[in-house]
Amino acid sequence: MLDTVGAGQTLLADAAYDSNRLRERLAAVGARAVIKPIPRRSTPPPLDRHAYRRRNRIERFFSKLKHYRAIATRYEKHDANFLALIKLAATRIWLRVYESVA
């Protein structure tokens, strides 16, 4: 996973990935780390709370996406068909958010 992160990119991760070693490796590549620090750190590194909030929205979307059985079980084996299922489910989720209540 870390081989795909390059200069100018951002890695959004959970507190489980908070380590000095990971942060140093990302800094060496020129990437930015948005990782919530572990509460027991004596000097926690700064956290971009706005970017971390966006990470949470992405996780909630994937949680909603997994409610569709065909996607959660990877029912379709062909990539094009699986991508079509994901697009269809994402559209249904998006429409639910913008559904008219009138």
Structure confidence by residue, pLDDT tens digits, 68-82: 888 888 888 899 999
Taking only the tens place, the pLDDT of each residue in 3-42 is 888 899 998 888 888 999 999 999 999 999 999 999 898 8
Structural domain boundaries of the chain? Answer: 1-47
Are residues 76 and 70 in contact, defined by beta-carbon separation less than 8 angstroms?
yes
CA-to-CA distance for 27 and 78, rounded, in angstroms?
38
Give the whole-angstrom CA distance, residue 7 versus residue 51. 17
Structure-token pair, residue 85: 């299922």
Beta bridge partners of 13: 35
